Structure 1
Amino acid sequence: MTPRTPTRSGLGEAGSVAVEIALLAPALVLVLGLLVAGGRLWFARTTVVEAAQTSARAASLARGPAEASAVGADAGRQSMTTAGLRCAQSSVRVSTAAFAVPVGTPATVTSDVTCAVPFGDVLLPGLPGTLNLTGRGSAALDTYRAR
């Protein structure tokens, strides 16, 4: 049996930590960027749907179709602004056809909100510059209220 020669631990491993960090850093930056983009997307979708619901609810409380359209659009825009959602382009459309339904018949006011959410500041390859999100909300009109 031959005696074993002791080996020096760490021989030939000088600089391996620097190489590992250099290989892992881009992956960690990519994961961080995906988390930021995912969080922004979740926040934007939730805010757009809530703005649509707020818009429809405000429109359903109005007395006439012209007032409902104006109040609903203003409420939708204000809801997005209050939440801090920044849209490159946005629109709020309120359908006031429910005001033409005769009293005693159930009717629903609907609202559609669109928002082009910018992602240009999240520097990830393949991520679009803007993403168009839409939300739809509805609220019932009082069945027996004069229209």
Structure 2
Amino acid sequence: MMRTHLNRLRTALRHGADRGDAAIEATIVIPLLIAIVLAVLAGARLSLAGQKTDAAAQAAARAASLERTPAAGQAAAQRAAADALGQRSQNCTSTRVTTDTSGLSASLGQVSSVTVTVSCTVPLGDLLLLGGGPGVRTMTSSFTSIVDAYRERG
């Protein structure tokens, strides 16, 4: 009888020793899962921002190449980049558009090009929902568009 009582006591102690393990495992695993989810969200945001910046650079270069003067080409590139980023709901904390419109000064009949570089600074701090966080990342994209060799220039 004593042996049966000891066996029951050992069994109870063994089962009781496992209590709290799930809470400890959850304490370790849940923060890791949250960190992985935030890393995936940051990666997705950066990938989309890169694609939107590429599209803005392409639209800006095309708009600049259709103009007749370098000054008009730069203005058109600025507008087109802002429109492209706005239409795609890209949240940039700052945007920089650099335009090389020297191709618009080339003489008639000469093949030339216009190159536009668009930089968009993407915020990442809001992923933590605390206002702080990993900061920002600047996405930069360039695109070159050919200027029609026989189009009248100013």
Taking structure 2 as the reference length, what is the TM-score of the superposition?
Answer: 0.82
- Does the 8 A contact of 2:121 with 2:138 survive in 1? yes
Larger Rg: 2
Structure 1 residues 67-107: Cα deviation after superposition (integer angstroms, max 9, x where no partner): 21111110001111111111111111221100111111111
Mark the runs of 5 or more structure 2 residues left unpaired by the alignment.
1-6
Segments of 4+ moved more than 4 angstroms: 5-10
**2:135 aligned residue:** 129
Q: How far apart are the structure 1 equivalents of 2:108 and 2:89?
A: 39
**1:112 aligned residue:** 117
Taking structure 1 as the reference length, what is the TM-score of the superposition?
Answer: 0.86
- Does the 8 A contact of 1:115 with 1:133 survive in 2? yes
Mark the runs of 5 or more structure 1 residues left unpaired by the alignment.
none
Structure-to-structure mapping, 1:46-85, within 5 angstroms: 46-85=51-90
Match of 1:40, as an amino acid?
R
Q: How far apart are the structure 2 equivalents of 1:50 and 1:36?
A: 21
Which of 147, 151, 154 pairs up with 1:141?
147
In angstroms, what is the RMSD of aligned CA positions?
A: 2.1
What's the % identity of the aligned pairs? 32
Give the Å deviation of 1:137.
Answer: 1.0
Aligned pair count reads: 141
- Paired residue secondary structure (1:138): strand
**Higher helix content, 1 or 2:** 2
